[in-house]
Structure 1
Amino acid sequence: MGLVTLDLPAPARMRGRWAAFAALLAARGWGGGCYARGSVWHFDDGGGNWADLHHVGEGRAVMLGNDHEYSETYYGPAAEYFGEDETDLLAGAPDWWRPVVSQVMAKDEYVGFVYGFDGTRWQRAEYDLADGFLSVGLPALNADRTHKSVVEFTQDAPGLGGAAPPADAIDALIAADGDVTEAHVTAVIGKGGWDAAAGAAAAREFLAA
């Protein structure tokens, strides 16, 4: 079986948006939901649905995750546990995808999707089932998603007094591409109440990859 090419942004294009949302959550004190640790970028929705992007060198990356409500693909132990037909998420995949999947599954995580970026394009195994990637709700997929997520999670920021964060401030936070300052974060969340320094530090972690 061949691989299916996906219309997804390259990791470099996602970095500024992923880092912007991580900055906001860290400033709020919810940093466990979105962060960078070394070569891995993490996002989860707080309800058990998640996506991780692993940088594996030479411009390559593997993104994998699961939506326990909407992933209809069952791989490895998940197929046996749920009594479902297995979807081989690595069918036709190059060998460099496999170590990441093995590493994650060793932590007893179920995996509903595995995508590989070869430096030019994202690809996945060929199947017709919904794998849960879109329903996970990764804000970094495009600027509109990032804006909406930032607005949603800052509605009760004490520094905004009930107002929405300025759109141009969100744009600037994204455009910083991980090289975020306290001023970038403060412009989005307002002064007082949340920790802009923690937000900026969380965003800068994305520069490591």
Structure 2
Amino acid sequence: MALEPVSLADSPRSMLDFLAVAAAVRAAVGLPDPETRPAGTAAPATAQDPGAGMGTGADSEEHGGGTALSHPGWSDENGSWISLVLPGEGRALIAGWHAEESETEASGTSLDGGTDLIDVAPGWWRRGIDHARARGDVLGFLYGWDGSSWWRAPYDTADGFDPDFFPVSRETVAELVNELAADTLLDDPSSEALDALLAAGVRLDGDTLSAALRTEDGWPEVDTDAGVRTARAFAEHAARLSPAAQNA
């Protein structure tokens, strides 16, 4: 059997920007990152890298770090999670699990007794399984980007991946920012401010962030520096999305 094409509007590079914005707005309003919660719900931070929850650390499971620090990601309080696993040379994997919708639970390969999420995929897809195991989390879906298109293994089971739930699409992140503003008593962001925020991505600056997260009287305060630092930490991953250099 062959891999099946997946119709997704966004490339890994766009998803990296969306994940950066989702993490930045949480940091700016002082909300804890669910990725730093105890094992069993999401990957914990470590003494070596207290910022591990954002998935922006320099260590990795591939380089002996033993933790899932090297790939940008997101998780929620219920244990749903998603990571953009970046093997390099322009390739990418979407790996994750939806706490309520993934019916491919305890899966990864046919040897695991669940849905085979690799099947005939290239060997580098296994990095997604290794990443989930390094996190200590269940893997529900695994999609691969070959540099031009998204693919997945052939199966009929509902895997739980939903770009309307996970912050890997423009619409979902815009909704997240609006909800966050309402929950923290900030003004509703203007459409122009939201557009600029989403366009900035990993290149987010303080003015763009403060324009989206603001109040007339300056309360509650927004830590734009924390938000910008968080977004910029995702920038280091962009290089791994560059295609491999061709020999002359």
> Does the alignment reach a TM-score above 0.5?
yes
Residue among 108, 112, 127 paired with 2:136:
108
Asked whether 1:155 is paired with 2:182, we answer yes
TM-score (norm 1): 0.86
Alignment correspondent of 1:23: 24
Runs of 5+ unmatched residues, structure 2: 36-53, 58-69, 238-248
Alignment correspondent of 2:56: 37
Quick check: 10-19 or 41-50, which moved more?
Answer: 10-19
The 3 A distance-change label for structure 1 pair 99 and 148 is: closer
The separation in 1 between residues aligned to 2:94 and 2:122, in whole angstroms, is 14
Residue type at the aligned position of 1:156: D
Query: 1:119-174 deviations in whole A, cap 9, x for unaligned?
Result: 11111110111101118811222x2222111101111335x3xx311121111111
Pairs within 5 Å for 1:64-79 = 64-76=95-107
Structure 1 counterpart SS, 2:131 = helix
The separation in 2 between residues aligned to 1:185 and 1:107, in whole angstroms, is 30
Structure 2 counterpart SS, 1:130 = coil
Kept in 1: contact 2:5–2:150 (CA 8 A) = yes
The separation in 2 between residues aligned to 1:91 and 1:168, in whole angstroms, is 44
The 3 A distance-change label for structure 1 pair 76 and 36 is: closer
Kept in 1: contact 2:72–2:84 (CA 8 A) = yes
The 3 A distance-change label for structure 1 pair 99 and 78 is: closer
Highest RCO, 1 vs 2 (Cα 8 Å, sep ≥ 6) = 1
Runs of 5+ unmatched residues, structure 1: none
Q: Calculate the aligned-residue CA RMSD, in Å.
A: 2.5
Kept in 2: contact 1:75–1:89 (CA 8 A) = no
Query: 1:54-100 deviations in whole A, cap 9, x for unaligned?
Result: 1111000111111122111134489999xxx6211111111001133
Alignment correspondent of 1:168: 192
Structure 1 counterpart SS, 2:94 = strand
Asked whether 1:139 is paired with 2:167, we answer yes
Quick check: 40-49 or 13-22, which moved more?
Answer: 13-22
Residue type at the aligned position of 1:176: A
Which structure is higher in helix share? 1
Structure 1 counterpart SS, 2:162 = helix
Residue type at the aligned position of 2:96: G
> Could you tell me how far 1:33 is from its partner in structure 2?
3.9
> Could you tell me how far 1:198 is from its partner in structure 2?
0.4
Aligned residues with identical type, % of pairs: 35
Residue type at the aligned position of 2:98: D
Alignment correspondent of 2:230: 202
Residue type at the aligned position of 1:62: L
> Could you tell me how far 1:2 is from its partner in structure 2?
1.1
Kept in 2: contact 1:157–1:189 (CA 8 A) = no
TM-score (norm 2): 0.74
The 3 A distance-change label for structure 1 pair 207 and 71 is: same
Residue type at the aligned position of 2:197: L
Structure 2 counterpart SS, 1:30 = coil
The 3 A distance-change label for structure 1 pair 105 and 29 is: same
Alignment correspondent of 1:95: 123
> What is the total number of aligned residue pairs between the two structures?
202
